[in-house]
Amino acid sequence: MMPEAYNPPAPGWREWLLTERPASRRQARLGRAYASWTRFASNRLALVGLAILVLLLLVAVFAGLIAPDSPVVGGDLRTARLLPPSAAHVFGTDDQGRDIFSRIVFGSRLTLMIVFLVAIIAAPVGLLMGTVAGYAGGWVDATLMRITDIFLSFPKLVLALAFVAALGPGIENAVLAIAITSWPPYARIARAETLAIRNSDFIAAVQLMGASPVRIVLRHVVPLCLSSLIIRVTLDMAGIILTAAGLGFLGLGAQPPSPEWGAMIADGRRFVLDQWWVAAAPGAAIFIVSLAFNLLGDGLRDALDTRG
C-alpha cells in the first residue's frame, strides 16, 4: 500500500485565484481576471449598469416568451388604437394598435445588434489604424492620421446621413454608416497609447529578439491599448444607440414596421401631446440602456487600470 501522502488543506478558490505564486498559465490569467472583477465589483453603480445590460440581453434572447403580442401586427384599428397604459397593455398601444411593450421587447434585439455590429467593426479598425500609425511613424503615420482627420472633421450624424443616403435606408446600412463614422476617435486613442509605449525598454527588448513589426504590434502593443479602448467603446455605446435612434427618427435607419426604438419615437412624435406614452416608453428605454453603458464604462475604467 502506498504511504499516505501529506495533503495540504485544500485552499479556498479565492486564495487559489489571488495567490502570488500561480502554478499555471490558466491560474495566472484567472487570478488577474478575478482581481479586475473585484475592482469592478467595488463600484456599485457599475454593477447596476452591468445588471441592466444583462437584463437587456436576456430580454432580447427571450423576447418571444416575454412579449405578450406581436411587435408588428396590430390589433383592431377601431378599438385598439392609442390606448393608454393598462393591465392589458402595460405601456399602451400605438397608432397601429400594436402593444408598445412588445415592440420595445423586440426592439432590444435591434439595439443589441446595432451595438454589437458597430463595436466589432469600428473598434478593430480604429485599433489597427492607430497602433500601426503610432508604431510605424513616418509617412505611414502621416497618411493614416490624415485619413482619420478627414473622417473626424465631418459631423458624425451628417456623415452617417450621407452614407445612408448613398447606400439606401435600412438598419444594415445605418450600422455601417455609424461604424464608419465612429472609428477615428479609437484610432486617435490607440495611436496616443502606442506612442507612449513604443520607446519603452520592453518594446526595445522584443525588437532585440528579432521580432517582426507585425508581431510587435499584434502581440505586444495591441494588448496594452486594448483596455483604454474597451472603456472608450463602452462609454461611446450610449452615443451609438442615440445615433442609431437619430437615424431611425429621421427615417433613414430601421424601416417600418420594425420596432426600432428611435423610429418608434419618430412615430410617437405626432401624438406626443395627447398620447405621450407612445414616445415616452421607447425614449425611456433608450435612456436607461445608454445610462447603463455609461455606468459600465466607468466601472471598467477602475477595473482595467494599466498596472499589471
Q: In the structure grid, which three cell numbers stand for residue 159, read together? A: 456623415
Nearest Cα to Cα of residue 247 among 120, 121, 114, 91: 114
Number of H helices, E strands in the chain: 13, 0
Measured CA to CA in angstroms, residue 152 lies from 89, 131, 136, 167, 233 at distances of 44, 18, 21, 21, 16
Least distance CB 273 / other proteins (angstroms): 53
Contact between 8 and other proteins per CB under 8 A: no
For 285, half-sphere exposure in the C-beta direction (CA atoms, 13 angstrom radius) is 31
Q: In the structure grid, which three cell numbers stand for residue 286, read together? A: 433608450
Contact track, other proteins, 221-250, x by CB under 8 A: --xx--------------------------
Question: Among 47, 48, 121, 206, which residue sits at the site for other proteins (rule: CB under 8 A)?
Answer: 206
Question: Among 1, 5, 15, 25, which residue sits at the site for other proteins (rule: CB under 8 A)?
Answer: 25
**Rounded to a whole number, what is the largest CA-CA distance in the chain?**
87
Contact between 211 and other proteins per CB under 8 A: yes
Contact between 22 and other proteins per CB under 8 A: yes
Contact 11, 270 (CB under 8 A): no
Closer of 8 and 210 to other proteins (Cβ): 210
* Cross-strand partners of 99: 93
Closer of 22 and 124 to other proteins (Cβ): 22
Closer of 159 and 224 to other proteins (Cβ): 224
Radius of gyration of the chain (CA): 24
How many residues bind other proteins (CB under 8 A)? The answer is: 28
Closer of 22 and 256 to other proteins (Cβ): 22
Least distance CB 224 / other proteins (angstroms): 6
Question: Among 14, 44, 215, 270, which residue sits at the site for other proteins (rule: CB under 8 A)?
Answer: 215
**99 phi, psi to nearest 5 deg:** -70, 120
Contact between 36 and other proteins per CB under 8 A: no
- Rama region for 173: left / alpha / beta (φ>0; ψ in -120 to 50; rest): alpha
Query: Which positions lie near other proteins, rule CB under 8 A?
Result: 20-25, 27-28, 32, 200-202, 204-211, 215, 219-220, 223-224, 306-308
